[in-house]
Amino acid sequence: MTRWRITVEYDGTGYVGWQRQDNGPSIQQSLEEAVYKFCGETVRVFGAGRTDAGVHALGQVAHFDIDRETRPDTVRDALNAHLREQLISVLAVEEASAVFNARTSARERVYLYRILNRRPQPALENARVWHVGIPLDAEAMHEAAQRLVGKHDFTSFRASMCQAKSPVKTLDALSVERSGEEIHIYARARSFLHHQVRNIVGTLERVGAGKWTGDDILAALEAKDRSAAGPTAPSDGLYLVSVGYG
């Protein structure tokens, strides 16, 4: 039996998220069905991040085990052939050790959130950005974001349905930068709480709009109460960029 590590990009629009569910198609289900069509084996595909409905990925990492002897490029091309009707693409495939686990072996996850900050609504990037029509101050957002870097109790930025055992996480980096008409927010940590990035983005948008300050961000963090922070940003603008392994 061989364990295969795959790197996947996908447009999360129209999917219920990474994890297989009964209420619609998922990325996990689509990959598992592609593996079955390739080699006739029923497998479980384990992902590094359980992205929510509508969330995209540029570098999701996953693994699965099959008995069939084959080559990495054959696995890649076969899976993509069976995924050609979907907005999912297997970018790379490599053989992994038996102890490798896409989720638990991960040491770093990087997310990007894209805000389209202009008056006209998007035509080509619809469902891939959060459109905010009022001008946002990216520098103020970045300065305020630094209050959240480090090890904290992120209860105020945690979804009510989050299943993590503890709200304490270490946010290694959080940056906000303007790129033309877009504002890009990058977050890096070993792991994140459910909706943590989207809740942070929704809160930072208030700073960019001039409604909050960095002190308000700190007060929301220290409150350890979800209602003290800002709204949850839409899933459309969120991307799992990469997963790092030690």
Q: Which CATH architecture has domain 2-96?
A: 2-Layer Sandwich (3.30)
Predicted TM-score of the model (pTM): 0.96
pLDDT digits (tens, 9 = 90+) for 143-180: 999 999 999 999 999 998 898 999 999 999 999 999 99
CATH class for the domain made up of 107-245:
alpha beta
Catalytic residues: 52
pLDDT digits (tens, 9 = 90+) for 122-137: 999 999 999 999 999 9
User: Could you write out the DSSP letters of every residue in the chain?
Assistant: -EEEEEEEEE--TTS-BSS-BTTB--HHHHHHHHHHHHHS----PEES--PBTT-EEEEEEEEEEESS---HHHHHHHHHHHTTTTTEEEEEEEEE-TT--TTTTEEEEEEEEEEE-SSSPPSSSTTTSEE--S---HHHHHHHHGGG-EEEE-GGGS-TT---S-SEEEEEEEEEEEETTEEEEEEEES---TTHHHHHHHHHHHHHTTS--HHHHHHHHHHT-GGGS-PPPPGGGEEEEEEEE-
CATH fold match for the domains 2-96 and 107-245: yes
The residue extents of the domains of the chain are 2-96, 107-245
